[in-house]
Structure 1
């Protein structure tokens, strides 16, 4: 009975290794060690190597001994083992998740899932049974709502440090250069990560302050994860932060907005309203009056300005807290 926990741990480790050893390419013991570590499975490298040697003796796994570090892979014609594998639908879901969520997922999670992402891609492109699933990514696309821009470059190691600190609830030390070009050393409490178009923003609190700020990741010159953890503020909610217009360069102040717009230019607002309380009325012969409760922000200003002369008679009335949409 005393050996049972060790036996279970050994078996689970073997299963995890079998699931992560790929076909068609080789993976090293160090890469497997890193994947397991990011998945929360802590074993030393020598233990991983011993298990791989054992698996090579009992399964159709090839070890390339020609060059160091040695590489491991399933033999091409091997049927593998009877472990749960991704079906075509699951492979499609995982492949699309990697494509669209990778910029905002913790780096350690992405690394721990590398083997599964590889398996998903291989399943979609190696089997005739998954032909329809393999075609799906070419049939759908998320399109831009404004002029497409290339993402600004982020300094090496910054995203990894930011996502790690955010994931572990640890203080983050960073060097930041603001829009005016001034550099400063800061200690911040990471609270959220948001993608706005091609840009990534870190929502955080500076040490000694109780308000939140958004920092563009491309303006962080260097970042390191502190060993000190923190308790997330109970009153902070990333969705509310967004709903308050903070990513639109607002301060959360709501207004009752009314404006007139050419019917052709404003027809889409009848299909996609500005708010749940939006109303409209027809102004003959071809104008609309739109009224809605919205957050006052720079983004709202840009939105209205984009219509040019098609928008007129803009009125803003402050909304008290009791009148605001909840």
Structure 2
């Protein structure tokens, strides 16, 4: 049997990956038979090792271990798994930007927007997709010129939101020094980032712009995030109260 790090082993591994279907489950035995058709002969034990030790860890392939024998299938059209950071970028893009993406570009949304990748950027530099990017403007608050203290505050807010921890903040604007709050979310407005929060044992939800927070520290105390709170719905209602509805303009 060839070592899995050899050319023969790598070929067997990649063929195994290629033969895993997208929309149905497949057993190790079936993969063994399919590999034999392309003159790749491996024991079921070797194929299972490819699957469990490499393919599942690196690629978007899942295993149903409750089935006997175990079965496998691809879970995405994406060949490689995305990192947590890449997945977060993808989900944010899909959630907020996809509605403005032309239908003709939706099939290649990730590649088209990943202009930080020099290979992809160069490949699109003279394409109509790249030209389209230069015709769209999205205004979001920037933290490039923030001080170290402001960045520390933002990092503390993110940590508290991720772990459902209480925050201890100080704000001259609120005339409060070291008050404990329960952070509920961040809203990225066109010119400012808002923190949504409530005070312990209270149901009222408040907002404060991040520049108005002087200090923020993550508490060791956790809190139960309200299961009935929907930040999208809250912001929509909040904007309707703060901003009058625009009148229709006839051109």
Relative to the length of structure 1, the TM-score reads 0.38
Hey, which of these two has a bigger chunk of strand by percent? 1
